Amino acid sequence: MSEQQGAPEQLAAGKSQGGAGATYKVVVFEFENFRGKKVELSAECKDVIEKECEKVGSVIVESGPWVAFECQAFGGEQFVLEKGEYPRWSTWTNSQTNNYLLSFRPLQVDSADHKLHLFDKPGYTGRKMEIVDDDIPSLWVHGFQDCVASVKALNGTWVGYMFPGYRGRQYVFELGDYKHWNDWGATAPQIQSVRRVRDMQWHKRGCFTAPAPPPAPTPAPNPTPPPTAGTS
């Protein structure tokens, strides 16, 4: 396997705009519940303040996926945003450091297939776990400890979480090699759950589709009243 670019190199090379033919649109609002200044984005935005929006408190992703950041220039904690509505901070994270977002970029999605290799030592050494087309809410259940020190994302886009059940800080893995946990913005090699990131290009209705409500029952016709006595 040839060496792939890591996330910093992908971003610098302008490869974070998704696969061929992918389209992106996100609508951001200054305050919670889709109030205040409204800005539409179809490409990366390093600083929403440059769009005359002081901060972002709620989001509607019309097509994506996207990754949002708590700081300008794609800094600080990161949050994956797939198709859907996010009326306040608690809908995009359960690990609050603040209640707003300041920069956004589209996520690269290279194919509908997903394959990820996890290693418990830097430089792709130590114990290895391969994940193919699956979401893993707990690495412990599969016999892999919580120490993930290097990663190879061979297909698809993934997001890892510090804790089981997709909780805690999020770390994005686009197509590429990550030799050290610093490469994905972590300060410690701790990941305990991972899942696939979906995209409208491959999953036409987004990642999480609400089931259609059951049809309302048809009311029974009113019974015909019996004839009144003495009526011809």
Q: What is the CATH number of the domain that holds 30?
A: 2.60.20.10
- Average pLDDT value over all residues in the chain: 83
Residues 79 and 119 in one domain: no
Give me the number of domains the chain comprises.
Answer: 2
pLDDT at res. 49: 96
CB 70 within 8 A of CB 102: yes
Residue 196 to residues 115, 122, 159, 160, 202, Cα–Cα distance (Å): 9, 22, 6, 9, 12
Tell me the chain's radius of gyration from C-alpha atoms. 23
Residues 90 and 125 in one domain: no
Residue 103 to residues 92, 111, 187, 198, 200, Cα–Cα distance (Å): 14, 25, 21, 20, 21
pLDDT, one tens digit per residue, over 11-38 is 333 333 444 456 899 999 999 999 999 9
- Tell me which residue range forms the domain holding 66: 25-106
CA–CA gap between residue 11 and residue 173 (Å, rounded): 12
Q: Of 48, 74, 106, which marks where a domain is finished? A: 106
Residue 1 to residues 4, 15, 107, 132, Cα–Cα distance (Å): 9, 20, 23, 17
**Would you say residue 101 lies in a domain?**
yes
Which of 174, 178, 191 has its CA nearest to residue 114?
174
**Confidence band of 216 (pLDDT split at 50, 70, 90):** low
Residues 122 and 101 in one domain: no
Q: Of 79, 106, 133, which marks where a domain is finished? A: 106
Q: Would you say the pTM of this structure is higher than 0.85?
A: no
Burial of 71 (0-12, 13-18, 19+ CB in 10 A): middle
pLDDT, one tens digit per residue, over 126-178 is 999 999 999 999 999 888 888 999 999 999 999 999 999 999 999 999 999 99
